[in-house]
Amino acid sequence: MGLGTLNKTISLLTRLIDDKTTTEPILEFSPQKPSLPKAPVSSPLPRTSPESVGISSAYIAEFLTALELDKSLNMHTVTILRHGKVICEAGFGAYNTQYFSSTFSECKSITSLAIGILIGDGKLRLDEKVIDMFPDDDSAMAKIKYKNLTVEDLLTMRSGATFAEAGSMADSLWIKAFFSSSVKGDIGETFNYNSLNTYMLSAIVKQKSGKNLLDFLRERLFDEMDIQGIFWEKSPEGIEKGGWGLYIRPEDMAKIGLLVMQGGKWNGKQLVPAGYIRLATAKHSTAPKSCGDFNYGYQIWCGREHNVFLFNGMFGQNTMCFPDNDIIIVSTAGNNEFFQQSSYYRYAIKYFCRSFPEAVPVSRHDAKLLGNVITRLSWQERLTLSMHRKQSVMQKRMKALDGITFLPDEPRSASLGLLPMLLQATQNNYTKGTKKISIDFEEEVPYMLYEEADSSFKVPLGIGKPLFTELDFHGEPYKVASRAVLTKNEDDEQVLKVIMDFLETPFTRIIKFIFRGDGSISLLAPERPGADYVFDFVGETLSEMEQRNKLIASTVGKIDPNYLRYKVNNVFSPSVKFKIKR
């Protein structure tokens, strides 16, 4: 990236990990995300039993149970299709497939389809020079550095551009910053995953079609497939981000996977050229093994050892397609992973990368087993008689907190907010700091009243299973499921634990009020995904900067990794002292 962007990026990272002050964004915040309804898709795919397409219900139950028992995973939803029919939908905890979900990089594969349509229309070529399409955003140096950069290089993550995700949080002119950035490796040769390559593809769609990416895809793809209501965030330049920022329901994501599996056809109509689909799902770049068991096509991952292709977003957003047996698995999650490093992919390959018959006998026992597993996975269905009893006991204990106010007793509250910090960072929507928290009962329902410097939130707390609400953060509304648990820690101290799942995202905020024996209160506020992910991200970002700039290298080289982890933990898993006001 350019020196100016580099300095601003370092400034933002420094602000982020300062736990004693409110994070001031480099770019002015402008709310984008609307309220997105929980509802079925406009045109549901057909449903059938697993047995009717050759898979036993017990087999799927075993797969779901494996995901449930693996504590390294934080699964949200799983949708399984065969032969274009939905055979299983499962929601974990409070999550449900009817919610819109943030795809993160999974939507890169959809941006690729827009490029394929333009190529099919004769408006774009794979070997077309990118620099020639943006005469107002280049410079003499850019024309030299990027003279050989092609559309195909963007598609295959071989642009070499170093203006990347971290830089986009600190610069408003993304196209100019892209061309101003230094080049890493050889253009057209070196794989270097960078979401700004996909942003440039989104900008190319606008240049060539005269329409923004979302409008273009609505006209050519989404309306044809009756995919409605989706939302795509835009850059400060007013262009869809392309490589992230899409909110879509899992079943509509399954439709996109099905379109690609069918060679670009939908209801007999060729929406994306078949030749482009073949190219897009084939290997063009060798990805590092640290990414997982997939190489890279045209914004679509393809298996190294198995015939499988994948639309993939960080934290576990996936559409995995198995052409040999016509199976598609769409999953959402909140895993600590950049690419395909979690065990989820091993389970999916193990269970579904194999041959199946066209039908197997129906078993009532197996169907009941699968139904029971799906019910067990969901908090919305899990309130048993014994939990009713526990709910009653806990509700009585919670009432002892009615009317109590918790006031922060140290400066760290300036960076403490209800919105998960990772979500604050990705949305550029930062808290102004926590002022007070209280518990209040209304008609036997406990509420957490959470007051920040410029916002107030009323959070209903489910006991036994979650309650649902929508909270507005500076004009951006999020659907939230929240529940409370009263327990004790290993020191026999009373703990009130509040869990808040932000249902359209991978993120969960956890707040633990620990009532110390000396009468003080400690508030712990971890999040999932959390500090471990951030530490790796910050470390990689600093390492990239160190390689590109000698002045920065001398500074970065002096940073103690243990100190860095300490600072990251203080922000993304803070511990703040509070006092009680009765």
Q: What is the 3-state secondary structure (H, E, C) of 282-305?
A: CCCECCCHHHCCEEECCCCEEECC
Residues 6+ apart with CB under 8 A from 439: 398, 401, 402, 403, 404, 446, 447, 448, 449
Beta strands in 177-275 (DSSP E): 231-232, 246-248, 265-266, 269-270
Please give the distance of CA 380 from its chain centroid, rounded to a whole number.
23
Is the pLDDT assigned to residue 553 strictly greater than 80?
A: no
**Percent of the chain surpassing pLDDT 70:** 93
Top CATH class of 32-352 equals: alpha beta
The phi and psi torsions of 88 (rounded to 5 degrees) equal: -160, 135
- Per-residue pLDDT, averaged over 419-444, amounts to 95
**Closest to 331 measured CA to CA, from 105, 87, 108, 79:** 79
Q: What is the pLDDT of residues 460-474, one digit of tens each?
A: 999 878 999 999 999
CATH code 3.90.550.10 for 386-532+566-581? no
pLDDT band at 138 (very low <50, low <70, confident <90, very high): confident
- pLDDT value at residue 90: 98
Length of the chain: 582
Minimum mean pLDDT range among 162-171, 319-328, 362-371: 162-171
Is residue 304 packed enough to be buried (19+ CB in 10 Å), middle (13-18) or exposed (0-12)? middle
Tokens (6 digits) for 61: 């139950």
Q: Does residue 380 surpass a pLDDT of 60?
A: no
504 alpha-carbon distance from chain centroid: 9
List, for residues 422-432, the tens digit of each pLDDT value: 999 999 999 99
Residue type, position 172, single letter = S
The answer to whether 478 and 504 are in contact (CB under 8 A) is yes
**Three-state SS for 9?**
helix
pLDDT at 2: 63
State yes or no: pLDDT of 552 exceeds 70.
no
- Residue identified by tokens 């390559």 is 197
Give Cβ neighbours of residue 1 (< 8 Å, ≥ 6 apart). 9, 162, 163, 164, 167, 171, 177, 180, 181, 182, 548
pLDDT band at 110 (very low <50, low <70, confident <90, very high): very high
- Residues 330-354 have a mean pLDDT of 97
Distance CA 457, CA 454 (A): 11
To which residue do tokens 């410029």 refer? 454
| CA–CA distance, 571 with 533 (Å, rounded to integer) | 13
Q: Does the pLDDT value for residue 137 go beyond 80?
A: no
- Range 408-425 average pLDDT: 93
**For 17-107, where are the alpha helices, taking DSSP H only?**
57-69
Rounded to 10 degrees, the C-alpha dihedral 316/538/232/127 comes to -90
Which residue would you say has higher pLDDT here, 388 or 293?
A: 293
What lies within 8 Å, CB to CB, of 375 at 6+ separation is: 381, 382
For residues 327-338, average pLDDT:
96
- Dist CA 566 CA 573 (whole Å): 10
- The H-or-E segment that residue 393 falls in is helix 385-398
pLDDT computed for residue 450 by the predictor:
98
Average pLDDT (523-552) is 73
- Compute CA distances 504 → 11, 99, 250, 426, whole Å: 30, 6, 11, 14
- pLDDT-wise least confident of 5-19, 71-85, 467-481: 5-19
Q: What amino acid occupies position 517?
A: G
The domains of the chain are located at 32-352, 386-532+566-581
Q: Check whether 542 has a pLDDT greater than 80.
A: no
Cα distance between residue 394 and residue 80, in whole Å: 37
- Give the per-residue pLDDT at 401: 87
Residue scoring higher pLDDT (539 or 250): 250
Q: What is the pLDDT of residue 356?
A: 98
Question: Which tokens go with 458?
Answer: 């009323």
- Given this model, what pLDDT does residue 377 score? 95
Q: Is the pLDDT of residue 355 over 70?
A: yes
CB 421 within 8 A of CB 574: no
* Rounded CA separation 167/156 (Å): 21
- Kindly indicate the confidence band of residue 546, based on its pLDDT and cuts at 50, 70 and 90: low
Tell me what pLDDT residue 62 has. 98
At 190 the pLDDT is: 94
Q: How far apart are the first and last CA of the chain?
A: 53
Q: Give tens-digit pLDDT for 294-314.
A: 999 999 999 999 999 999 999
> How many of the other CB atoms lie within 10 Å of CB of 309?
26
Query: What sections of 411-549 are H helices per DSSP?
Result: 421-427, 531-548
Share of the chain above pLDDT 90, in %: 79
Q: How far is CA 418 from the centre of its chain?
A: 18
Confidence of residue 385 (pLDDT cuts 50, 70, 90): very low
Is pLDDT of 558 > 80?
A: no
d(CA 111, CA 298) in angstroms, rounded, equals 10
CA atoms within 13 A on the CB side of 282: 8
Q: How confident is the model at residue 548 (pLDDT cuts 50, 70, 90)?
A: low
What one-letter code names the amino acid at 259? L
Report residue 68 as tokens.
């449930």
What mean pLDDT comes out for the span 315-344?
Answer: 97
Residue given tokens 């065990």 in the structure block: 343
State the average pLDDT over residues 322-341.
97
| pLDDT at 141 (0 to 100) | 86
The three-state secondary structure class of 552 is helix
Distance CA 200, CA 575 (A): 41
In this predicted structure, the answer to whether residue 42 has a pLDDT above a threshold of 90 is yes
109/514 Cα distance (integer angstroms): 45
Query: Average pLDDT of the chain?
Result: 92
CA atoms within 13 A on the CB side of 413: 19
